[in-house]
C-alpha cells in the first residue's frame, strides 16, 4: 500500500507557503526537489538501506539505558524518589518525569496498534474496519503526545517497541489526510533512504502543523532540527527562538528549575515522607531542549563561518587549493572528505595573508564567528544553569537513594525504613563553575601526585584485605563527603561544547585550562545510572580531536591525557577493622540487585554489589553469594569499557576549530565595534572673576 508520502509529492516551494509567519524564509528552499531525489535514491542497483526518519536523529545514543526495560511502576517510583532526594539530585527531575510519561504513552499505544494489526480484540473478537481505525487513531494521538514531550527519547522508545508502531500513522492518514497528530507521527516514522534526510524530507508536513497550531513550540523545535540537517543554521535559530518565546508566553506551570528546593526538612533535620506529584505538577525539560539545540546551532554556524574568515591558502604542487589546503567547507564537502582531511592532517600549513589583503567580507565573517560563539556559550551556560553540583555530598545520602532503588526494583515500599537525617552541604549551579572567577571552597583538581599515590596505596591495601565469601562489607564509621552532580543525557556534550566555544572566542590559555579541568572534574562524577547508560558525545570527540591535532604545538598543557582526566576515581571496598567481630548483618545474604557504586565514587559497597551489566543480574538468584564473587574485580559503569569508549565520531567542527586556532592569531586585530562608553569630556574650572 503506498504511503502518504508517495501519494502527495510537492516541492519545497509549494509547502513553504503554508509556514507560520514566524518561520524564516531562508530555509524554505532547503528541500527543493526532495521527492525526485528520494525516488532517484531508491532506484538503481545500489539501493540504500530504508529506515525510519527518526533513526537519523542526533544524540539518540545519549538516551539509551535501563529506563527502556524497567517496569513502569518501578520507573515512576524512582522518578519520585529522585525528586525527593537531597540536592543535587542524581538525575534531572524534568527529564526523569518526561521519560515516565513517554513510557506510559508508548505503553498505552502499543496494545492498540498490535490489536488493530492482528484484527482481533478481547476474547478473540474480530474487529471491524471502523473499530481498527479508531484504535489506530487513539494510538496515534498518544504517540504524538510522546513526541511533543521529547522527540529524541520517544524515538529511542519506539525503536524498542513493535513494528506496528511505525505504520500506525500511515493507516490513519489514508482515511484522514488532514489529521495533524498523524502527520506529526508519520513525519518521524516515514521510511527514507539511510543518510538522505535532507533529500528525502520536505517541509510540508511541519509547515502545515505550524500553520494550524501556531502557539505550540514543539513543531518549531522539530523543524529546527530538520534545518540543522540541511545546515540552515539561521533558520534553525529562528525556529528555536520562536519556540522559546512561545514557551515563555504560554507560561508553563513548572520547568526543570522549578521545585528545586523539594520537600522541606523537619525541625529535627529529617525529611518528610515522599511527595507524589501529579502529572500537571511535574517539571518538564522542554526549555533545556530548546537551549541545547539553539546553542548547538549557534556553534555550528560559528564553525561554518570560520572558512570565510581565513585567507586562501597557497596552491599545492598539484594545483589544488581546496581539499589539499584544508579548505573543506562544511556546507559543500561530504563527511568522507572532511574525515579524510582531518586524518591526513591537511591544511596544517596554510598561507597567511597580510593585514592589507583582508577583505571587508573576511572582517565581517570574523566578527560573526565571535558573535555566534558568544551566543552559543550563553545558551550552553543557560543549559548548565538548570543542573547542580556539590563537592561534599554526604555518603549516607547515596546509601538512602540505593535503598530506595532496591525497594523499587523489588516491588517493595521505599518508605519502610525511617527517614534519614540530612545535613546541609555546599551546593553550586554548574553555570557558576564556568564563570571568570570560580567559587571558593572547591577541592583541588587535578589531584597532586602525592594524593594520587596515597589513593593508589589505599586501594591496594583494601584489595589485599578482600572480604571472605561469608563476610559483608562494613561501612566506615565516619561519613566521607563525595562530589556529586545532577546528571542529564546531554550534560557531557554541553560541557565540551563550552570548551569549543572558548576556543573560538580566543580565551587565554590559563582560563581555558581552568575550564578544561572543570569539565574533566564534572565528567568523572557524572553518572546516569540506574536510568541512563554511558554514551558517546560528538562535542567530546571534537574536543579530543582538537587536543590531538594541537598537542605538538604545546597549545594547552594538561597534567595527563583527556581520558585519564575524565576517568572516575577508583572504588574503595569497605574493609572491617582488624580484630572486629562480624556484625549480625554479615551472616545474612547481601543484596546484589543493581545499585551501581559508580553513583558514589567512594561507596562502601563491595565488588559483589556492582553488576557487570545494568540489564540483568546474571544466572541464578541474585541474592545468593558465591565464593567467586568476592574475588571478582570491581567494575564501574564509567563509559570507558571497550563497548562504550570514544570512537572517531568527530564532526566538521573539529577541522574548522583547528584551522581557527592555528591561523587566527596571525590575523590583524578586529577594529573596535564603537559600542563602548564614550570618554567624558573634562571641563576645566573657570577662574572666579577678580
- Please tell me the distance from the alpha carbon of residue 132 to that of residue 172, in angstroms, as a whole number: 10
Q: Each residue of 164-217: pLDDT tens digit?
A: 999 999 999 999 999 999 999 999 999 999 999 999 999 999 999 999 999 999
Instruction: Write down the pLDDT at residue 157.
Output: 97
Highest mean pLDDT, choosing among 447-456, 468-477, 630-639:
447-456
Query: Three cell numbers at 568?
Result: 572516575
**Please, which contacts does 112-115 make with residues 24 or more away whose CB atoms are closer than 8 Å?**
112/136, 112/138, 112/139, 112/142, 113/139, 113/162, 113/164, 113/165, 113/168, 114/162, 114/164
Q: Which positions ≥6 away from 36 have C-beta within 8 Å?
A: none
Q: Per-residue pLDDT for 555 more than 70?
A: yes
**Alpha-helix residue ranges (DSSP H) falling in 422-573:** 430-433, 449-464, 491-505, 509-525, 538-550, 562-566
Instruction: Write down the pLDDT at residue 228.
Output: 97
CB-CB contact of 608 with 575 (8 Å): no
Nearest to 1, CA basis, from 208, 255, 239, 172: 172
Query: Three cell numbers at 659?
Result: 584551522
Q: Per-residue pLDDT for 304 more than 70?
A: yes
CB-CB contact of 47 with 267 (8 Å): no
Q: Per-residue pLDDT for 98 more than 50?
A: yes
CB-CB contact of 319 with 290 (8 Å): no
Residue that wins the pLDDT comparison between 544 and 579 = 544
Helices H / strands E in the chain, number of each: 24, 5
Instruction: Write down the pLDDT at residue 449.
Output: 73
Q: Mean of the pLDDT values across residues 343-372?
A: 68
Instruction: Write down the pLDDT at residue 530.
Output: 87
Instruction: Write down the pLDDT at residue 630.
Output: 38
CB-CB contact of 94 with 292 (8 Å): no
Q: Which positions ≥6 away from 200 have C-beta within 8 Å?
A: 34, 37, 38, 41, 53, 192, 193
CB-CB contact of 660 with 306 (8 Å): yes
Q: What is the mean pLDDT of the chain?
A: 74
Q: Mean of the pLDDT values across residues 117-146?
A: 94
Return the H-helix or E-strand segment holding 533.
Answer: none
- The pLDDT > 70 percentage for the chain reads 59
- Please tell me the distance from the alpha carbon of residue 5 to that of residue 170, in angstroms, as a whole number: 9
Q: Per-residue pLDDT for 32 more than 80?
A: no
Instruction: Write down the pLDDT at residue 399.
Output: 53
Burial class (CB in 10 A: 0-12, 13-18, 19+), 146: buried
Q: Per-residue pLDDT for 609 more than 70?
A: no
Instruction: Write down the pLDDT at residue 463.
Output: 60
Highest mean pLDDT, choosing among 62-71, 343-352, 670-679:
62-71
Q: Each residue of 221-244: pLDDT tens digit?
A: 999 999 999 999 999 999 999 999
Q: Each residue of 368-407: pLDDT tens digit?
A: 999 999 999 999 999 999 999 999 876 655 555 555 555 5
CB-CB contact of 216 with 181 (8 Å): no
CB-CB contact of 289 with 243 (8 Å): no
- Please tell me the distance from the alpha carbon of residue 307 to that of residue 317, in angstroms, as a whole number: 22
Residue 388 bridge partners (DSSP): 429
Instruction: Write down the pLDDT at residue 275.
Output: 82
- Please tell me the distance from the alpha carbon of residue 654 to that of residue 547, in angstroms, as a whole number: 10
Specify the 3-state DSSP secondary structure of 388. strand
Chain Cα centroid distance, residue 263: 28
Residue 272: Cβ within 10 Å count: 11
Residue tagged 533535620 (cell numbers): 269
Q: Per-residue pLDDT for 124 more than 50?
A: yes
Torsion of Cα atoms, 149 then 152 then 157 then 161, to 10°: 110
Q: Which positions ≥6 away from 622 have C-beta within 8 Å?
A: 591, 592, 593
Instruction: Write down the pLDDT at residue 578.
Output: 40
Chain Cα centroid distance, residue 587: 43
Confidence class of residue 536 from pLDDT cuts 50, 70 and 90?
Answer: confident
CB-CB contact of 134 with 121 (8 Å): no
Confidence class of residue 581 from pLDDT cuts 50, 70 and 90?
Answer: very low
Residue that wins the pLDDT comparison between 554 and 224 = 224
Instruction: Write down the pLDDT at residue 436.
Output: 87
Q: Per-residue pLDDT for 349 more than 70?
A: no
Task: Give the helix, strand, coil percentages of the chain, each rounded to 5.
Answer: 50, 5, 45
Residue that wins the pLDDT comparison between 24 and 452 = 452
Instruction: Write down the pLDDT at residue 677.
Output: 53
- Please tell me the distance from the alpha carbon of residue 512 to that of residue 509, in angstroms, as a whole number: 5
Instruction: Write down the pLDDT at residue 385.
Output: 97
CB-CB contact of 668 with 356 (8 Å): no
Q: Each residue of 37-82: pLDDT tens digit?
A: 444 444 445 678 999 999 999 999 999 999 999 999 999 999 999 9
Instruction: Write down the pLDDT at residue 273.
Output: 63
Q: Per-residue pLDDT for 648 more than 90?
A: no
Angstrom CA distances, 327 to 233, 539, 658, 666, stand at 20, 21, 12, 18
Query: Three cell numbers at 646?
Result: 570514544
Instruction: Write down the pLDDT at residue 272.
Output: 58
- Please tell me the distance from the alpha carbon of residue 565 to that of residue 524, in angstroms, as a whole number: 8
Confidence class of residue 122 from pLDDT cuts 50, 70 and 90?
Answer: confident
Specify the 3-state DSSP secondary structure of 72. helix
Comparing 106-120, 460-474, 582-596, 662-676, the range with the smallest average pLDDT is 582-596
CB-CB contact of 146 with 104 (8 Å): no
Residue 192 bridge partners (DSSP): 51
Q: Mean of the pLDDT values across residues 563-587?
A: 56
Instruction: Write down the pLDDT at residue 672.
Output: 62
Full 3-state SS string of 26-40: CCCCCCCCHHHHHHH
Domain ranges of the chain: 4-264+277-284, 291-312+359-389+427-465+476-573+593-611+646-667
Instruction: Write down the pLDDT at residue 409.
Output: 54
Instruction: Write down the pLDDT at residue 236.
Output: 98
Q: Mean of the pLDDT values across residues 606-615?
A: 34
Q: Per-residue pLDDT for 337 more than 90?
A: no
Q: Mean of the pLDDT values across residues 665-673?
A: 66
Q: Each residue of 109-120: pLDDT tens digit?
A: 999 999 999 998
Instruction: Write down the pLDDT at residue 325.
Output: 34
End-to-end Cα spacing for the chain: 105
- Please tell me the distance from the alpha carbon of residue 207 to that of residue 54, in angstroms, as a whole number: 18
- Please tell me the distance from the alpha carbon of residue 404 to that of residue 593, in angstroms, as a whole number: 12
Q: Each residue of 261-276: pLDDT tens digit?
A: 555 544 445 555 678 8
Instruction: Write down the pLDDT at residue 377.
Output: 98
Chain Cα centroid distance, residue 658: 24
Return the H-helix or E-strand segment holding 51.
Answer: strand 50-52
Instruction: Write down the pLDDT at residue 371.
Output: 97
- Please tell me the distance from the alpha carbon of residue 562 to that of residue 643, in angstroms, as a whole number: 18
Confidence class of residue 411 from pLDDT cuts 50, 70 and 90?
Answer: very low
- Please tell me the distance from the alpha carbon of residue 307 to that of residue 326, in angstroms, as a whole number: 10
- Please tell me the distance from the alpha carbon of residue 345 to that of residue 552, in angstroms, as a whole number: 13
- Please tell me the distance from the alpha carbon of residue 128 to that of residue 122, in angstroms, as a whole number: 13
Q: Mean of the pLDDT values across residues 14-22?
A: 37
Biggest alpha carbon distance in the chain? 115
Instruction: Write down the pLDDT at residue 428.
Output: 95
Q: What does the angle CA 536 – CA 537 – CA 538 come to, to the nearest 5 degrees?
A: 125
Instruction: Write down the pLDDT at residue 311.
Output: 78
DSSP symbols for 276-307:
---GGGS---HHHHHHHHHHHHHHHHHHHHHH
Q: Each residue of 480-533: pLDDT tens digit?
A: 568 899 999 999 999 999 999 999 999 999 999 999 999 999 999 999 988 999
Confidence class of residue 448 from pLDDT cuts 50, 70 and 90?
Answer: confident
Instruction: Write down the pLDDT at residue 447.
Output: 78
Burial class (CB in 10 A: 0-12, 13-18, 19+), 689: exposed
- Please tell me the distance from the alpha carbon of residue 456 to that of residue 465, in angstroms, as a whole number: 14
Return the H-helix or E-strand segment holding 7.
Answer: helix 4-7
Nearest to 655, CA basis, from 546, 557, 526: 546
Instruction: Write down the pLDDT at residue 566.
Output: 93
Amino acid at each position: 500500500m503506498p504511503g502518504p508520502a508517495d501519494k502527495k509529492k510537492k516541492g519545497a516551494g509549494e509547502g513553504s507557503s503554508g509556514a507560520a509567519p514566524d518561520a524564516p524564509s531562508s530555509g524554505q528552499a532547503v528541500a527543493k526537489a526532495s521527492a525526485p531525489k528520494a525516488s532517484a535514491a531508491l532506484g538503481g542497483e545500489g539501493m540504500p538501506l530504508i529506515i525510519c526518519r527518526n533513526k537519523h536523529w542526533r544524540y539518540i545514543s545519549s538516551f539509551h539505558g535501563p529506563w527502556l526495560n524497567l517496569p513502569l511502576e518501578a520507573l515512576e517510583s524512582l522518578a519520585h524518589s529522585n525528586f525527593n532526594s537531597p540536592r543535587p539530585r542524581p538525575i534531572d527531575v524534568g527529564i526523569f518525569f518526561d521519560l515516565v510519561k513517554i513510557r506510559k504513552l508508548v505503553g498505552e499505544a502499543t496494545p492498540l496498534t498490535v490489536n488493530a494489526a492482528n484484527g482481533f480484540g478481547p476474547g478473540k473478537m474480530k474487529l471491524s474496519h471502523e473499530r481498527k481505525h479508531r484504535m489506530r487513531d487513539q494510538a496515534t494521538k498518544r504517540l504524538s503526545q510522546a513526541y511533543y514531550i521529547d522527540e529524541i527519547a520517544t524515538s529511542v522508545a519506539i525503536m524498542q517497541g513493535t513494528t506496528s508502531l511505525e505504520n500506525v500513522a500511515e493507516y490513519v492518514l489514508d482515511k484522514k489526510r488532514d489529521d495533524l497528530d498523524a502527520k506529526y507521527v508519520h513525519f518521524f516514522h516515514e521510511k527514507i533512504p539511510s543518510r538522505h534526510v535532507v533529500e528525502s524530507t520536505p517541509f510540508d508536513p511541519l509547515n502545515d502543523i505550524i500553520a494550524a497550531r501556531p502557539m505550540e513550540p514543539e513543531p518549531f523545535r522539530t523543524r529546527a532540527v530538520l534545518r540543522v540537517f540541511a545546515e540552515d543554521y539561521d533558520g534553525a535559530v529562528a525556529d528555536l527562538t520562536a519556540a522559546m518565546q512561545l514557551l515563555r508566553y504560554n507560561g508553563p506551570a513548572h520547568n526543570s528549575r522549578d521545585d528545586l528546593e523539594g520537600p522541606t526538612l523537619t525541625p529535627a533535620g529529617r525529611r518528610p515522607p515522599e511527595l507524589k506529584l501529579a502529572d500537571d505538577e511535574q517539571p518538564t525539560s522542554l526549555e533545556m531542549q530548546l537551549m541545547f539545540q539553539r546553542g548547538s546551532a549557534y556553534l555550528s554556524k560559528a564553525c561554518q563561518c570560520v572558512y570565510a574568515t581565513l585567507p586562501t591558502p597557497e596552491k599545492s604542487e598539484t594545483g589544488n587549493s581546496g581539499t589539499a589546503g584544508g579548505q573543506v567547507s562544511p556546507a559543500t564537502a561530504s563527511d568522507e572528505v572532511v574525515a579524510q582531511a582531518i586524518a591526513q592532517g591537511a591544511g596544517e600549513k596554510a598561507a597567511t595573508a597580510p593585514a592589507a589583503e583582508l577583505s571587508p567580507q573576511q572582517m565581517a565573517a570574523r566578527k560573526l564567528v565571535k558573535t555566534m560563539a558568544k551566543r552559543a556559550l550563553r545558551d550552553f551556560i543557560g543549559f548548565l544553569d538548570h543542573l547542580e553540583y556539590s563537592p561534599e555530598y554526604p555518603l549516607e545520602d547515596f546509601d538512602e537513594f540505593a535503598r530506595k532503588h532496591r525497594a523499587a526494583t523489588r516491588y517493595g515500599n521505599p518508605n519502610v525504613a525511617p527517614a534519614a537525617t540530612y545535613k546541609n552541604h555546599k551546593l553550586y549551579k554548574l553555570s557558576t563553575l564556568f564563570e571568570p572567577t570560580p567559587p571558593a571552597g572547591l577541592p583541588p583538581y587535578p589531584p597532586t601526585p602525592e594524593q594520587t599515590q596515597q589513593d593508589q596505596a589505599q586501594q591496594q591495601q583494601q584489595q589485599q584485605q578482600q572480604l571472605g565469601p561469608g563476610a559483608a562489607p562494613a561501612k566506615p564509621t565516619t561519613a566521607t563527603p563525595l562530589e556529586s552532580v545532577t546528571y542529564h543525557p546531554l550534560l557531557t556534550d554541553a560541557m565540551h561544547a563550552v570548551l569549543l566555544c572558548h576556543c573560538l572566542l580566543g580565551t587565554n590559555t590559563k582560563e581555558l585550562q581552568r575550564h578544561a579541568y572543570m569539565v574533566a572534574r564534572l565528567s568523572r562524577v557524572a553518572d546516569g545510572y540506574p536510568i541512563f547508560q554511558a554514551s558517546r558525545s560528538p562535542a567530546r570527540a571534537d574536543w579530543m580531536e582538537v587536543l590531538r591535532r594541537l598537542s605538538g604545538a604545546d597549545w594547552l598543557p594538561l597534567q595527563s591525557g583527556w581520558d585519564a582526566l575524565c576517568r572516575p576515581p577508583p572504588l574503595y571496598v569497605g574493609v572491617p577493622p582488624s580484630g572486629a567481630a562480624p556484625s549480625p548483618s554479615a551472616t545474612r545474604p547481601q543484596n546484589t540487585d543493581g545499585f551501581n557504586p559508580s553513583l558514589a565514587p567512594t561507596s562502601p559497597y563491595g565488588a559483589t554489589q556492582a553488576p557487570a551489566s545494568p540489564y540483568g543480574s546474571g544466572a541464578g538468584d541474585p541474592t545468593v553469594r558465591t565464593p567467586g564473587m568476592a574475588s571478582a574485580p570491581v567494575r564501574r559503569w564509567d563509559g570507558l569499557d571497550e563497548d562504550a569508549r570514544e570512537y572517531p565520531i568527530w564532526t566538521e567542527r573539529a577541522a574548522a576549530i583547528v584551522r581557527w586556532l592555528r591561523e587566527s592569531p596571525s590575523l590583524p586585530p578586529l577594529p573596535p565595534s564603537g559600542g563602548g562608553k564614550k570618554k567624558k569630556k573634562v571641563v576645566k574650572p573657570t577662574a572666579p572673576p577678580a
